């Protein structure tokens, strides 16, 4: 269903089972799969692909040009997975650089006024709360949650099943299954709520606790600890092994 007050390019691919509300704009090259719902005043730019069942609420702008001075008009892309919810006035930019791409996996929730910068990668089930601002190239792991009003610096990584508290400045990586709290943001133990919700066993939770005690309390240099955990010299959870593969970032410190 396309509302008569909507503007939909003849070169856009809109599934007959999609719904486009009043005053929406769908540009040439956009793809809306089955069950996509655009409420009112949604702007979908070209080279944007929206997966089945995704609901985009009033005033959101998706697939706009990257806000990067190096962008020179090259062809770039945005992919949004299935069954996402993108709430009011959220903004999502395409990638930057030739064939650059921003990717949002399935079942992601972007709350009102959140911003997803160019080349960000959001994995399945991530929750981005109201007013969160992600700089370019930020990676957010599956089922991670970022609290309202938090700013995440470009290239930062937010690990799977982690939680970053509200109104924070995240300028370092948040490890998987961890909590980032305080100013400056610091590691504050495991995100037990997410781990239990997603069926982590007590044994696995215990292993994660042991790994982080070693990482933060051993007194050894960070990269040495990461190398030992990743090499199998110590029993290590797969979340940590994957997160620190080719690690080149800066990890948040542990709280006092």
Residues designated catalytic: 118-119, 136
Measured CA distances, 2 to 14, 21, 26, 43, 49 (Å): 9, 6, 11, 14, 17
What is the radius of gyration, based on Cα positions, of the chain? Answer: 20
Q: Which helix (H) or strand (E) holds 102?
A: strand 101-104
Contact 228, 211 (CB under 8 A): no
CB-based burial, 163-194: b 16+ in 10 Å, e otherwise = bbbeebebbbbbbbbbbbbeeebbbbebbbeb
Question: What would the two tokens of residue 236 be?
Answer: 């290590």
What is the C-alpha separation between 217 and 223, in angstroms, rounded? 14
How buried is 209 (Cβ within 10 angstroms: 0-12 exposed, 13-18 middle, 19+ buried)?
middle
Task: Work out the end-to-end distance of the chain between its first and last CA atoms, rounded to an integer number of angstroms.
Answer: 56
């Amino acid at each position: 269903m396309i509302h008569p007050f909507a503007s939909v390019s003849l070169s856009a691919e809109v599934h007959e089972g999609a719904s486009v509300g009043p005053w929406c704009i769908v540009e040439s090259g956009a793809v809306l799969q089955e069950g996509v719902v655009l409420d009112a005043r949604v702007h979908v730019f070209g080279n944007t692909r929206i997966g089945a069942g995704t609901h985009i609420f009033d005033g959101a702008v998706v697939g706009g040009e990257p806000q990067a001075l190096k962008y020179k008009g090259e062809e770039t892309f945005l992919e949004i997975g299935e069954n996402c919810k993108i709430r009011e006035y959220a903004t999502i930019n395409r990638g930057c650089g030739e064939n650059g791409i921003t990717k949002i996996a399935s079942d992601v929730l972007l709350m009102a006024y959140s911003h997803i910068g160019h080349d960000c990668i959001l994995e399945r089930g991530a929750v981005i709360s109201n007013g969160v601002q992600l700089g370019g190239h930020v990676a957010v792991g599956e089922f991670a949650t970022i609290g309202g009003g938090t700013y995440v610096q470009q290239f930062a990584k937010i690990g799977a099943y982690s939680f970053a508290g509200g109104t924070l400045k995240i300028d370092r990586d948040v490890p998987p299954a961890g909590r980032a709290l305080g100013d400056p943001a610091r590691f504050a133990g495991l995100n037990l709520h997410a781990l239990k919700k997603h069926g982590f066993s007590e044994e696995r939770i215990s292993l994660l606790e042991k790994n982080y005690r070693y990482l933060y309390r051993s007194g050894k240099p960070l990269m040495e600890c990461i190398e030992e955990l990743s090499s199998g010299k110590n029993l290590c959870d797969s979340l940590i092994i994957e997160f620190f593969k080719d690690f080149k970032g800066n990890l948040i410190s542990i709280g006092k």
